[in-house]
Amino acid sequence: MTTLLSEATGSESALRRFLSGLPGVDQVGAEGRAATLATRSIKTTAKAYALDLAISMVDLTTLEGADTPGKVRALAAKALRPDPTDPSCPAAAAVCVYPDLAATARAVVGDRLHVASVAAAFPSGRSSLEVKLREVADATAAGADEIDMVIDRGAFLTGRVQQVFDEIVAVKQACGPAHLKVILETGELATYDNVRRASWLAMLAGADFIKTSTGKVQPAATLPVTMVMLEAVRDFRAATGRQVGVKPAGGFRSAKDAVRHLVVINEVAGPDWLDPDWFRIGASSLLNDLLLQRQKMATGAYSGPDYVSLD
């Protein structure tokens, strides 16, 4: 496969041939397997471990038109200390904001957490390459050390895979030392086959992470989609030796969802990915539910929304 891989990025036709030559995903089988793994029962000490791990994987996100510096500061402070009443609670992995607020977030978290910024004409990806690169440069200059770019889904769906590839390569170059997460927006890709192809395309182009969605399109991250992407990063590492991370985002509400994803990571990709460096969860309200579950484990009594912050 390695020889095939090295040829894959040689020309547009080779790339297209490689991607369409990827084995198809058995939709019924994938959904069935995800559903089976979701029934796994995680209790007591395993649950406590899973909750803490999930908290440490959260990219605490706010991507609203109404975001203010005050809200971003509050969010960054929360990412540093999610539960101020409990010093044993781990910090989140990163704060994820729009480029103009990256500096605000960086000022709060210092070098203790990562600051992720969306870029490249988020969320639609509809803009010229020049504008996208400029936005990436802006974000990194403002202190973002992780860039979440969106791919041009229009180009991907019409088969212009080379254009998508070149864009990712160019953005990766513009990122410099910053990590690049490539958002596939799986809700618009229509099939699991496309999710698998887009995952490989992004990884071949140099993505450090592949991310499911912007959170602006429904459906966002679903368990089968994350599973297909985890299979892709596993196979990619087997083929090239390079490990790529996965970040499902959007659609997460409950701690139970997060724990199910951890089970799927362990079963599909392996424990190497059970680490905030290789798996992230893009979410906002999820963190509160993780904290409520954590408080329930600590006190033995069900907790309520009065005991966590609003955002």
Partner 1 sequence: MSGSERVEVRKTYKLYVGGAFPRSESGRSYVVSDSRGRFLANAAQASRKDGRDAVVAARKAQPGWAGRTPYNRGQVLYRAAEVMEDRREQFVEQLRAAEGVGQRKADTFVDAVIDRWVWYAGWADKVAQVLGGANPVAGPYFNLSVPEPTGVVAVVAPAGPLLGLVSVVAPAIATGNTVVVIASQPHPLPAVTLGEVLATSDLPGGVVNILTGSAAEIAPWLASHRDVDALDLTGVDVDGDAGELARDLEAAAAETLTRVRRPEPGADWLATPGLDRLSWTLETKTVWHPIGI
Q: Where along the sequence are the contacts to partner 1 (CB under 8 A)?
A: 300-307
3-state secondary structure of 219: coil
Nearest Cα to Cα of residue 287 among 262, 264, 254: 254
Q: Is 211 a catalytic residue?
A: yes
CB proximity list for 61: less than 8 A, separation 6 or greater: 95, 96, 97, 215, 249, 282, 283, 284
C-beta of 17 vs 256, nearer to partner 1: 256
Question: And the tokens for 255?
Answer: 């701690």
Minimum CB distance to partner 1, residue 299 (Å): 8
C-beta of 49 vs 307, nearer to partner 1: 307
CA 67 remoteness from chain centre: 21
Minimum CB distance to partner 1, residue 307 (Å): 6
Catalytic residue selected from 59, 148, 257, 289: 148
Q: Which amino acid appears at position 270 of this protein?
A: G
Catalytic residue selected from 132, 172, 181, 247: 247
Q: Which residue has the tokens 């904001």?
A: 97
Nearest Cα to Cα of residue 198 among 219, 213, 217, 178: 213
Q: Is 247 a catalytic residue?
A: yes
Q: Which amino acid appears at position 213 of this protein?
A: S
Q: Which amino acid appears at position 59 of this protein?
A: D
Minimum CB distance to partner 1, residue 302 (Å): 4
C-beta of 130 vs 306, nearer to partner 1: 306
Catalytic residue selected from 78, 132, 181, 211: 211
- Secondary structure E strands in the chain: 58-61, 94-97, 114-119, 146-150, 179-183, 209-211, 245-247, 281-283
Minimum CB distance to partner 1, residue 255 (Å): 13
C-beta of 153 vs 260, nearer to partner 1: 260
Q: What is the set of active-site residues?
A: 148, 211, 247
